């Protein structure tokens, strides 16, 4: 019987257990009520009186070995049934690269938040636009240079040859659509993509983002316009930012102005960024032209309004000192990751 026990001992040691099924086989074979060891305990009574102490001791040792192997293996098998790996909890965790919003999306969110806080509602419209909304209704007649093929992407409709479509060159058509559908007072911003048929350079891209604003009510004046833009740029570039208007021309506003802000790099003293002038151009604005009101059936005798527009890429590039617009759209994670 001793030789039997030695054999069983070897078997226990070499029995392969890698799954819950094998563990159960191990239990049935050695430990269970019908297992080998229980049988040997019953046979112990047939062993001679002299051998009994030695055999009994060995039998107990083998039983303990089987039980301890069973318990160890049971602890090693996890819920999924596979053997637990040794885990070193002191090792540094694997690093994940987490996605983030594109820099322009961040600028968009920041601008929208500032304008929303002072009562502007966000409006949206199609990027593929009818010529009427993009030009005609905005006091930009058929022979206006802005319609030139050089500047505008035209899209030919296959179903309606008379209706010319364009990739919108500004977000102003959203204002036209809003004015046609709603009665004043109106206080809206329209942020979004616009398209120009431009050669791509470090400062020009065929697509960029605009945010335009429009406020129409009774007795709206240039003073309101200057107030709201001063408020916005102080929030966006810092409390010490000053603004100024320089006379300009747009077909859809009269009078029109270029908006400059005091250079936030040098504080107005003059530096490379502001070309030693102390000022930076940031957008265009003006009082809505009466012709625009007439094209959307708003009485220019009763209502006045202001409009402004700015390019998000330009504002963003100035804010972060980015010199080349193309880098914003090259999907280079090494660049985008910095913001």
Where do contacts with Zn ion occur on this chain (CB under 5 A)?
Answer: 263, 265-266, 271, 273-274
Closer Cβ to Zn ion, 133 or 233, answer by number: 233
- Minimum CB separation of residue 187 from Zn ion in Å reads 33
Give the pair of three-digit tokens for residue 285.
């604005």
- Interatomic CA distance for residues 44 and 42, integer angstroms: 5
- Minimum CB separation of residue 152 from Zn ion in Å reads 34
- Minimum CB separation of residue 271 from Zn ion in Å reads 3
- Minimum CB separation of residue 265 from Zn ion in Å reads 5
- Exposed/middle/buried for residue 125 (C-beta within 10 Å: 0-12, 13-18, 19+): middle
Q: Which residue is nearest to Zn ion (CB)?
A: 263
- Interatomic CA distance for residues 195 and 170, integer angstroms: 7
Closer Cβ to Zn ion, 153 or 279, answer by number: 279
- Minimum CB separation of residue 285 from Zn ion in Å reads 22
Q: DSSP class of residue 150?
A: T
Closer Cβ to Zn ion, 222 or 271, answer by number: 271
**Phi, psi torsion values for 297, nearest 5 degrees:** 60, 40
Any alpha helices (H) in 15-125, and if so which ranges?
A: 20-26, 36-43, 52-76, 103-117
Helix (H, G, I), strand (E, B) or coil at 93: coil
Of 110, 167, 146, nearest to 249 by C-alpha is 146
* Cβ neighbours for 124, distance < 8 A, ≥ 6 positions apart: 174, 190, 192
- Minimum CB separation of residue 270 from Zn ion in Å reads 6
Closer Cβ to Zn ion, 137 or 263, answer by number: 263
Closer Cβ to Zn ion, 174 or 263, answer by number: 263
With both helix axes pointing from N to C terminus, report the angle between 312-320 and 103-117 in degrees, rounded to the nearest 10: 110
Closer Cβ to Zn ion, 225 or 243, answer by number: 243
- Interatomic CA distance for residues 222 and 93, integer angstroms: 58
- Minimum CB separation of residue 275 from Zn ion in Å reads 8
Sign, CA torsion 79/85/90/92? negative
- Minimum CB separation of residue 242 from Zn ion in Å reads 12
Closer Cβ to Zn ion, 274 or 315, answer by number: 274
Q: DSSP class of residue 84?
A: P
**Phi, psi torsion values for 169, nearest 5 degrees:** -90, -10
Closer Cβ to Zn ion, 66 or 317, answer by number: 317
């Amino acid at each position: 019987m001793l030789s039997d026990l030695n054999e069983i001992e070897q078997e226990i040691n070499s029995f392969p257990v890698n799954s819950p099924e094998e563990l159960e086989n191990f239990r049935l074979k050695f430990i269970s009520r019908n297992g080998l060891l229980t049988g040997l305990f019953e046979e112990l009574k047939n062993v001679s009186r002299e051998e009994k102490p030695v055999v009994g001791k060995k039998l107990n040792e083998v039983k303990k070995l089987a039980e301890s192997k069973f318990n160890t293996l049971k602890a090693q098998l996890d819920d999924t049934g596979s053997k637990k790996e040794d885990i070193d909890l002191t090792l540094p965790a694997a690093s994940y690269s987490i996605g983030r919003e594109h820099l322009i999306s961040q600028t968009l969110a920041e601008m929208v938040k500032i304008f929303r806080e002072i009562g502007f509602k966000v409006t949206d419209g199609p990027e593929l636009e009818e010529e009427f909304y993009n030009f005609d209704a905005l006091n930009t007649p058929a022979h206006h240079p802005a319609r030139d093929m050089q500047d505008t992407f035209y899209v030919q409709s296959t179903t309606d040859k008379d209706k010319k479509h364009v990739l919108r060159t500004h977000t102003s058509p959203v204002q036209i659509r809003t004015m046609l559908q709603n009665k004043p007072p109106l206080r809206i911003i329209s942020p979004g993509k616009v398209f120009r048929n431009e050669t791509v350079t470090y400062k020009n891209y065929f697509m960029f983002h605009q945010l335009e604003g429009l406020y129409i009510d009774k007795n709206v004046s240039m003073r309101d316009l200057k107030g709201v833009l001063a408020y916005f740029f102080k929030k966006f570039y810092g409390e010490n930012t000053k603004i100024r208007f320089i006379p300009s021309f747009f077909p859809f506003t009269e009078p029109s102005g270029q908006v400059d802000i005091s250079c936030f790099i040098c504080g107005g003293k003059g530096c490379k960024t502001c070309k030693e002038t102390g000022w930076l151009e940031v957008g265009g604005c003006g009082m809505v032209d009466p012709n625009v009101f007439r094209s959307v059936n708003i009485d220019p005798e009763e209502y006045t309004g202001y409009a402004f527009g700015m390019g998000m890429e330009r504002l963003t590039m100035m804010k972060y000192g980015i010199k080349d617009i193309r880098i914003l759209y090259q999907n280079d994670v090494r660049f985008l990751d910095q913001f």
